[in-house]
Amino acid sequence: MYDYNIFDGNDVVQHQKKLSRAISLIENQSPGYEEILSSLQPKNVPVIGITGPPGAGKSTLTNALLKEMVDQQKAVAVLCVDPSSPFNLGSLLGDRIRMADWYNHPNVFIRSLASRGSLGGLHPAIIEITELLKSSFFDYIIIETIGVGQSEVEIAGLADITLVVLVPEAGDEIQTMKAGLMEIADLFVVNKSDRPDAGMFVKNLLLMLAPAFATKKHLIPVVKTVAITHTGIADLFKAIETLLKAEKNNERKYFLLTQKAYHLIEKKRMQDVDKTILKEKIKEQYNKPGFNLFNFIKNY
């Protein structure tokens, strides 16, 4: 069995290397990965999800929030999910470039993950990897999604707090994402708020959210930031800590656990379905007379 739990507090680098190897084993479902997961003893480490449409500055905001946490002597793990090709599942993993300053910091662990074709903007093994990190020594775990529209709601089943990042020009995008945003957002971040009409955008956002406030016990905070200059980041971190210290909602906790359990059960029952083999069988059957996808699945 792979023993990653042995941690000498004076050797953070070795511990991070062990975490990296354990994540690779879990990603690739290598022999022994299930034993690693079964032996975990996760702690109550807050998971902060950061999502929003492409171009909102999620990575820059994550980088700025990371600096704020580290300045306050916090240990932080960051999972950055980048989009991957639906054909070869490769990914640019651009977060390795954007967060290059933190890769050698002893209080920071960063892992870039390719979405590997997952439709929810996350990694197929994101639950397992997150639970692994929660069993370590971190004070916070940040997960940055790729931002793919309505399917961003998947982050709500994983994070204790979900930040939705928008920019002042996102008015039209809000209308198309409105239902999902209202349901998943615990906190809105209006980034790049030094741009014209940022104040008006915040006002319109609050007006749009007004009906949703009536069904919640507290108002959804809206924080203005300019992540690239670190403006508003201290206020954002204070807002996050306030939400984390608020009275815990047991129903939400049970919802999160149910979502995780459902996803893991679904994945376990599908593990014998190999897409490569599936594609070959489709190629074999497709040109035969009367090919019907539903009959093919029924008889698969």
Domains and CATH numbers, the chain: 1-39 (no CATH), 42-247 (3.40.50.300)
Tokens of 74: 């916090």
Average pLDDT of the chain, as a whole number: 80
Q: How many CB atoms lie within 10 A of CB 102?
A: 17
Chain centre to alpha carbon of residue 198: 26
Beta bridge partners of 49: 143, 162
What pLDDT, on the 0 to 100 scale, is given for residue 171?
64
Q: Read off the pLDDT of residues 122-136 as tens digits, 9 standing for 90 and up.
A: 667 888 899 999 998
Q: Read off the pLDDT of residues 236-290 as tens digits, 9 standing for 90 and up.
A: 999 999 999 886 666 767 777 787 788 788 878 888 888 889 999 999 999 889 8
pTM: 0.80
Region 111-129: what's the mean pLDDT?
70
Q: How far is CA 172 from CA 114, 145, 175, in A?
A: 28, 21, 5
Q: Pick the residue with more confidence: 190 or 102? A: 190
Strands 161-166 and 108-114: unpaired
DSSP state of 229: G
What pLDDT, on the 0 to 100 scale, is given for residue 254?
79
**Up-side HSE of residue 103: CA atoms within 13 Å toward CB?**
10
Region 88-117: what's the mean pLDDT?
68
Q: How many residues does the chain have?
A: 300
The rounded percent of the chain whose pLDDT value lies above 90 is 31
- Which residue has tokens 């929660």? 134
Q: How far is CA 189 from CA 107, 143, 144, in A?
A: 25, 15, 14
Residue 77, class by beta-carbon neighbours within 10 Å (0-12 exposed, 13-18 middle, 19+ buried)? buried
Tokens of 272: 């014998």
pLDDT at 191 over 90: yes
Spatial distance between the Cα atoms of 68 and 71, rounded to a whole number of angstroms: 5
